[in-house]
Amino acid sequence: MDIRIFQVDAFAERLFAGNPAAVCPLESWPADDLLRSIAAENNLSETAFFVPDPHGDAYHLRWFTPVDEVDLCGHATLATAHVLLRYMEPSLHGVRFRTRSGELEVHREGERLVMDFPALRPEPCEPPAGLAAALGTTPLEVLAASDFVAIVPTEEAVRALAPDMAGLARLDRRGVAVTAEGEEPGIDFVSRFFAPALGVPEDPVTGSAHCELAPLWADRLGRTRLRARQLSKRGGEVLCEVESDRVHLSGRAVLYLEGTIRV
């Protein structure tokens, strides 16, 4: 069986920036073990697989890290929409995906793609044992949703982190987002994201984490439209708009390669 594969830099204005994701169009679902093996072989933070819905009005979309399937992934959804709307279905204005996190929509807005995702508001919690030691700093506050969210005093504190990945992997959440208010004009907040338990020590740009971070900073800064920057080595920016229980995340994407997997 031959499987097409695209590799896309998501949340990027140019190649070699943003977050790379693999995208594999399928006609039907093979065994999950094959999907896991392909994702492990790709060794990217996420590989997305999608099949057409039988009714023809949407696609079923799944995401795999090198270790396991996840419930929600932003950058691989952006990458999948880029492949569909740019190369496979260029006449479409938008696309709908059916996923483990419900129905997600992506539409064009100029050169950007806008994703309609659920808002995952984090709630204050007791800092879990080992978090401060693993981060190498004591957060001002800790909140929890799908991930732990650690607020630190400054942008430089986010940038300077050198976490103990083994310590973070022992925590009982998907990952840890560390964030601070932005200091550069036009940047509302910054972050870094770590998910070593899922085989992703540091994710370059994490759309799903902004489902937690955007509502948090919208409440604290008193505005619903925000520009975020993730301070990984590759780096990337995410435009966020919070509307009630939804978050609109937008960015651009660039195709790096297209090929064939022979299995």
Residue 46 bears catalytic tag: yes
In the chain, the largest separation of any two C-alpha atoms, in whole Å, equals 52
Task: Report how far residue 158's alpha carbon sits from residue 192's, in angstroms, rounded to the nearest whole number.
Answer: 7
Specify the long-range contacts of residues 124-133, CB closer than 8 Å, at least 24 apart: 128/171, 128/172, 130/167, 130/170, 130/171, 131/168, 131/171, 131/176, 133/164, 133/167
Three-state secondary-structure class, residue 32 = helix
Choosing from 13, 27, 46, 212, the catalytic residue is 46
Alpha-carbon 92 to chain mean position: 23
For residue 6, which phi and psi values (nearest 5 degrees)? Answer: -120, 145
Active centre residues (catalytic):
46
